[in-house]
Structure 1
C-alpha cells in the first residue's frame, strides 16, 4: 500500500532550503498585512490576460510514498508564447543588501510552481521570476530565469528526495499511531462515575464535527476523559492533531501525565509541550539575535537535523527533553518547540498559541485545521484571558522617556515620540478632572502618528539596540493590530494616574473573537469543573446554538464533605469588624477537626491582615503563607508542606483565584479542609463597571457577568481542591452572609447545598 503525504509547496521547500539565523530585533507585527498589501499592489499591475493566486497541485511518486504537493502561486504572466511564474517577496531590508541572485528558498518555491504548471500544460520550458519589493520605499527588483521542463522535473525529485527521510519517519509513525489508537483501552481499571458519559460525549462531538461545553466536577478525571476519546479519533482518521490548551503550568503537567499513561498502555503518540520563551531561554537575557545568542545564530541550518533526531528517538517531548536536544544541536528551545508543534500528534500549550491574534501558530494551514481538535482545559479562565489577548494599551510616560532618550541621538524618533506625547497631553487636558473616561471614537490622528513611529523605528532597530524603543515598537504594533478589530464588543477608555495617562482598547466581550480564532478546527471541547452557569460560558466563549453541552454530576457521595456556612460580612467596610470572629472560627475549626487546611481570601491585603493577627494569637500553630510573586520552586515547596498523616495541624493562607486555588491536587490526608472567605467578587473598578454596563445594555444581567459569576467561580475552584477521589473526606466552610442568599445558593454545586449554618 502506497501512502499519500500532503504538503504545501512552501512548507516543502522551507524544510529543504531554509537557512540562516533567528533575529527578532525588528520583526514587524504587521509584516503579514504589509506582505498582503504588496502582493495586491504588484498583482494590480498585471495585464488582463495574466492570472493571480493560481491554485496548483500535483502528485509525485517517490519510493513508497505519493507526495501531493499544492499551493497558490502569486502570478501567471503570459506574453506571446511565453509563460512566467511570478513569486512576490516583500522585505524590510534595503534591496542592495539582498543576495544578488535572490534567496535559494524563494527560487525553490517558484520553481516548484513552475514544475507543476509546465507538467499540467505540457510545456517544454517556462520562465520563473522573483519580484522583490522593499516595504518602506516600494523599490522593486526583478530576477528572471528560464528553465526546461526536464530541469524542473529533476529539481522537483531532488527536493522530494531530500524531504523523504523526514516524511517517511512521520508516515511510519502515523500508521503505527493509528493502529495503536484503535487497540488502546481506557488506561484505568474502570471508569469513575460520569467518566464514560464524558468520554462518549467528546467522541460524538469529534465524529460530528461539533463543539462541546462541559461542566464536570473536580476529581472526576476530566483530563483523561477528554484526552482518551480524542486519541481514539486518530484510529478513525477523524483527527490528525490534538491541541491540549491550558492556562497554568500545573494543568500542563496533568496533561503530560495522561499522555504518558496512555503510552504505557500501548499508544504510539508524540507530544510536545510548549513553554513560554522567557522560561526556557538559555541566555541571561531573552534577546533573539545571532550576534548575542549562539542558539539563534544559524538556527535554520541545524533545525532539520534536530527535529529528525528528537522525533526519531522521543515520544514525550516535555521541557526537560526539549532542552536536552536543544543544547545537543545548539538550537533555540522555544523556536524548536514551535517547529515541533507542526509535526507532533499532541501539543500541550497555553491558550494564546491558538486564540491570541498576535502569537498564534500562523503556519497551521486551513486544511490542517480541519483535522485538528482543540481541548480547552479550565475553560472558565479563557474569559478574562480572552479579554487580555484582544485588548491593547499605550501609556504617555513611555513616549516621554523615549523622547528624552533620543533627543540628541535620532531626530526622527525624537519627533515621533514628541508628537505622540503631545497627543496624550491634549487627551489629558480634554478629559477634565475625571480619573477614567470613555472615548467614543479613536482619533485617526493617533493612528497616523503610531504608523509613522513604527516605520521610523524599523531602520533604527536594524542598526542599534534600545530596549525602550524595541518594547514601544512592539507595543505600538500590537495596538495597531487591535485597532483593526474595534467594534461594539470594545470600549475605548483613558485612565489618569498623577501626571501619566493610559489609553486602552478594552475588549469587553471576547465571544466574537474567540469564535473567529477557533474557526476552521474540526471540533472544540471547552471543559471545567466550574463552567457554571453553562449558558453564561457558552455565550461569553463564543458558543453557537448548535453546540453540545453536558453537565456531569459529581461521582462522590455527599457524605464525603461536611459543608458549613458562617454568615459573617466580608464586605470591605466590615472586614476589620468581623476579623476577630473569622480568626476565632478558624481556631475553633482546627481544634474540633484537626488536619491540614487551606484558607482562601479575596485579596492579598485582607489575607495579610488576618494572617498576622492569627499568628500573633496562636503562634503554636503551623502556618504557611502564600507570598506574592512566588517562583515555581517556591510554589512546590508550599504544597510540599501538606504531607499525609501528619500528627499536627498545618494551615495554608492563600489568595482566592490565585495559583493554589486551581489545579492543585492534594489527595487523601494531605488536605482535610478548605475555608473560603467571601464570595470572591472582583474589586469594584472602572473596567468591571464597564463590563456591567455593556451587558446591561445587551439585556443581560451585567452585575452577574462582571462580578457574581467570576467571583463564585473562584469559590467553586477553591472548594474543589478538597475531594479528589472516592477515598477523600473533609470540611468546607464558606464565610459570608451572602451564601445564604437564594441567588448565590443557586450557583453552588448540588452536593454543597445540604449545609449547616454555624
Structure 2
C-alpha cells in the first residue's frame, strides 16, 4: 500500500496555523531559533536526571482510503512525575520567556501529537505535557504544564489527520500521474554530438548519489542535458524533487523553457519559479505586518485554500507556477504572494530559484533544509562559477559602528537596558577603530559577541512588549524611520550571531574603514567548501555546471572539497572554423600602464577589429573609468556609420532591455556596446547569429586590490595554495571567459573573440582557456585587421551579406 510520511512538526504547522503575517515582533525570529537550539536542547535534557529519556522516536500509521498516512517525529523528552508520564517539548526562542502568558498553540499541538502516539502505544489513560521554553541568549527557562486523557487526545488527533488526508490523497494521485508521464517522455531533439554522453553522466551521478562538475561550452544544451536525466531519475524513484538553482533571473527563464519543452511531449510536472519578495510583493515596499499590508492580515486563515485550489487546477499549463500565476492566485485570495509561493514549493516537483533558497542561512527554505532534515532532492546548479563569491557573501556577516550609535540615539528615551548594551558594543568597536589604519585581523571577539547577545535580548524585549515604542503606531516620520532602522539592525545582529556560532578555520575576522567612511567588523568566510557541502548533503545528488568552470579543480576545491566527486568536460559541437580567437599582446591594462598612449592604442585596436567587418560588437573593460577614457579616444577616429552604446551604473531592467534591443541583425553599419566586465552584460545575455559577431575583452579582469582581496590572498598563501590565483587570477579569468562567451551562442553563429593584454601570453592565464580556444593566434595592432578580414572572407557562406 502507498505510504505518505509527514513529520509531526510539519503536520501541525501546516494544518493549524492561523492569523496574520507580522514581522514587527521578535517572534519572527523563533523560526531561526529552532535551527540554533540543538546545543541548548542537549544542555536542558542533560540536567533532567537519569530517568529522563531524550530524543524518543515516535511513529504511528493511519489506514486511509487506499494509502497509509505515517506520522513520525522525536519527542524531546519523556519522564515520570508524581506517577504520571510527561511528554516534554523544548523550544529555543529569542523572546523574553517571563513575558510569555501561555505556550504557542502550534508548539503545544506538536507536544499533544507525541502524547497521543505515546499514550496509545503504552496504553495510558492519562498523560501530561510540559512545554519548556528556553531563551537562547540568556538560557532562562519557563515551563507550562497540562494534562489530557487518552480519549480526548485521540479525538483531537483524528480531526488533525483527517484535515491532512485530502492533501496526501492529492499528492498520491499526482505522483502516479507524474510517473506515468515521465515514462513516455523522450529527449525532445536529436542528440547533438556529446550531448547524450553528458545526459548519461548526469543520470549516473544521480544513481550513485554523488556530485558532478560539468564544464560545458555554450551551445551544447547543458540545461536540457541536465533537466531531462534528472526528470528521468525522478521517474525511477532516484529522487523526488528537483531544485534548479541560478544566480541570475535570465537563466531561470532558460530552465522554465527546458521544462516546457518536456511538457509539450506530455510530461506532467509541477514547476514553481520562486521570485524574491521585493519583486513579487503587491506593496510598494515589503512591510509584512497586518496594519500596513492587507495581504498580511489574516493570511494564514486563507492561504491553505488558495494553495489547494492552485494545485488542483488542471487547465493547460496550470502546473507552471510562474511569477505571474502566483501573483494572480494570491490576488484572488488576498494572501501574500511570496509566502504562498513558499507553501506551493512543498507540493511542487521542480523549484527554480536563486542560490539563496538552498545555501543562505538567512533565506534558505527551512521546510526542506532544517537541521537534521534530508530529502531525495536533486540539485541542478547553473552558472556554478558564481557560487564561490555568492557563498562567501552568504556565510559572512558585517556590523557597522555607526549603526550602534544611530540605534542608541533613537532608543535613548525608550530603553535604558538597550542603550547600555549598545554603548558597550560601541566601546569595543571604538577601541578597534583607534588601533586600525587600513584593516586589522582579529583573533578573538568573544567578549564583544557576549555583549551582542545582550543587545539582541534587549531589542527582543522591546519587540515583544506591545506597549513599547516599537509597537505603538506613530505619525512622526522620524520615529517611524527609527523603528525601521532598529528592526533592521536587530535582524543584522541576529544574522551576525548566527554566523559567529559557526566560526571555524575557514573564516577570518577583521575590522576596517570602508570606502563610505564607516567602520566595519566582518566575519569573512573565505573557504566555502564545508558550508556549501553541508547544504548539498541535504539532497541525494548535485550537478554543478557552467561554461566557465575552469580550472575545474579550483571550483571543486571551493564548492565541495571531496576527491570522490566527478568532473566531465562536455565536448563542443561548434564548428571551429566559424570562430576566431586572437590575443593582442602588444597592449597592457596594468595600472602602471594606464596612460593616454595606451588608451589610444586600445581604441585603435577596437577600430581595426570593428572595421574588419560591419556588424554588432561588445567591448568589455575592467572599469567604468577606463571604458569612458577609451571611448573618448575611439570617438575621435570612428567611422560615421558606427554607433556606440555605453553601459551605465545602476541600469533598470527596462534600460537593460532597451540596450539589448538595439542589437538586431543589420544590413550595414556597426553598433558597438561599451560594457564592464563582470557587469550585467558580461553574463547571461543571449545574442544569437548576427545580433553579435564579436567580443573584445580589454584586460585580464583581475579584481581591484582591496583589503578583502588581500586578506583572501594571505589566507591561501599561509596554506601554500597560491593566494594570487585564488584572490585575483581565477576570478579575473572567469570574468574574461564569461565576457567572451557572449559571442558564439549556437551552431549557426560566426564570430570573433579578441583578448587585449600582454598577460594573456603567460601560461598561468592561458591555463584557464577552454579547450575550444586551443587554436588561438596572437596578433598586433598592425596585423589584427588583416587576420580578421582573412577569417571573415574564409568563413562567409554564399547567402551571407
Shorter-chain TM band: over 0.9
Q: 3-state SS of the aligned residue for 2:413?
A: coil
1:435 matched to 2:453? The reply is: no
1:579 matched to 2:579? The reply is: no
Matched residue, 1:353: 357
Aligned CA distance change for structure 1 residues 708 and 131 (closer, same or farther; 3 Å): closer
Superposition CA RMSD, Å: 2.3
User: Contact conserved, 2:702 with 2:733, CA < 8 A, in 1?
Assistant: yes
Q: 3-state SS of the aligned residue for 1:363?
A: helix
Aligned CA distance change for structure 1 residues 219 and 34 (closer, same or farther; 3 Å): closer
Once the two structures are superposed, the pairs formed by residues 89-168 of structure 1 within 5 Å of their partners are: 89=91, 102-132=103-133, 138=140, 140-148=142-150, 150-168=151-169
Matched residue, 1:722: 743
1:458 matched to 2:460? The reply is: yes
Q: Distance in 1 between matches of 2:35 and 2:348?
A: 29
Q: Deviations over 1:338-387 (max 9, x none)?
A: 22222211111111211122222222267863411111111111111111
Once the two structures are superposed, the pairs formed by residues 129-528 of structure 1 within 5 Å of their partners are: 129-132=130-133, 138=140, 140-148=142-150, 150-188=151-189, 190-313=190-313, 314-364=318-368, 369-431=374-436, 434-439=437-442, 441-462=443-464, 463-465=468-470, 466-496=483-513, 500-528=518-546
Q: Distance in 1 between matches of 2:421 and 2:320?
A: 49
Alpha-carbon deviation of 1:88?
3.4
Q: Distance in 2 between matches of 1:132 and 1:216?
A: 51
Q: Distance in 2 between matches of 1:363 and 1:604?
A: 43
Normalising by the residue count of structure 2, what TM-score does the alignment of the two structures yield?
0.89
Q: 3-state SS of the aligned residue for 1:265?
A: coil
Q: Deviations over 1:393-439 (max 9, x none)?
A: 112122122233333343333222222222222112223xx212222
Alpha-carbon deviation of 1:688?
1.5
Matched residue, 2:794: none
Q: Deviations over 1:545-575 (max 9, x none)?
A: 1111111122111111112222211112223
Aligned CA distance change for structure 1 residues 730 and 268 (closer, same or farther; 3 Å): same
Alpha-carbon deviation of 1:658?
1.3
Q: Distance in 1 between matches of 2:245 and 2:561?
A: 17
Q: Deviations over 1:158-202 (max 9, x none)?
A: 2222112221112111111112112210022x1122211111001
Q: Deviations over 1:225-261 (max 9, x none)?
A: 1111001011101100111111111111111111111
User: Contact conserved, 2:716 with 2:726, CA < 8 A, in 1?
Assistant: yes
Q: Distance in 1 between matches of 2:429 and 2:3?
A: 58
Q: Distance in 2 between matches of 1:208 and 1:374?
A: 14
Of residues 614, 619, 627 in structure 2, which corresponds to 1:599? 619
How many residue pairs get aligned? The number is 751
Normalising by the residue count of structure 1, what TM-score does the alignment of the two structures yield?
0.94
Q: Distance in 2 between matches of 1:607 and 1:242?
A: 42
Q: Distance in 2 between matches of 1:635 and 1:376?
A: 25
Q: Which sits farther off after the overlay, 59-68 or 748-757?
A: 748-757
Q: Which sits farther off after the overlay, 412-421 or 274-283?
A: 412-421
Q: Distance in 2 between matches of 1:735 and 1:337?
A: 46
Q: Distance in 2 between matches of 1:241 and 1:368?
A: 14
Q: Distance in 1 between matches of 2:107 and 2:29?
A: 20
Matched residue, 1:550: 568
User: Contact conserved, 2:34 with 2:93, CA < 8 A, in 1?
Assistant: no
Q: Distance in 2 between matches of 1:140 and 1:751?
A: 66
Q: 3-state SS of the aligned residue for 2:57?
A: strand
Q: 3-state SS of the aligned residue for 1:369?
A: coil
Q: 3-state SS of the aligned residue for 1:309?
A: helix
Aligned CA distance change for structure 1 residues 43 and 438 (closer, same or farther; 3 Å): closer
Unpaired segments of 5 or more residues in structure 1? none
Aligned CA distance change for structure 1 residues 200 and 520 (closer, same or farther; 3 Å): same
Q: 3-state SS of the aligned residue for 1:456?
A: helix
Unpaired segments of 5 or more residues in structure 2? 471-482, 785-801
Q: Which sits farther off after the overlay, 687-696 or 208-217?
A: 687-696
Alpha-carbon deviation of 1:671?
0.9
Alpha-carbon deviation of 1:104?
4.2
Aligned CA distance change for structure 1 residues 358 and 366 (closer, same or farther; 3 Å): closer
Matched residue, 2:34: 32
User: Contact conserved, 1:24 with 1:289, CA < 8 A, in 2?
Assistant: yes
Of residues 602, 608, 622 in structure 2, which corresponds to 1:588? 608
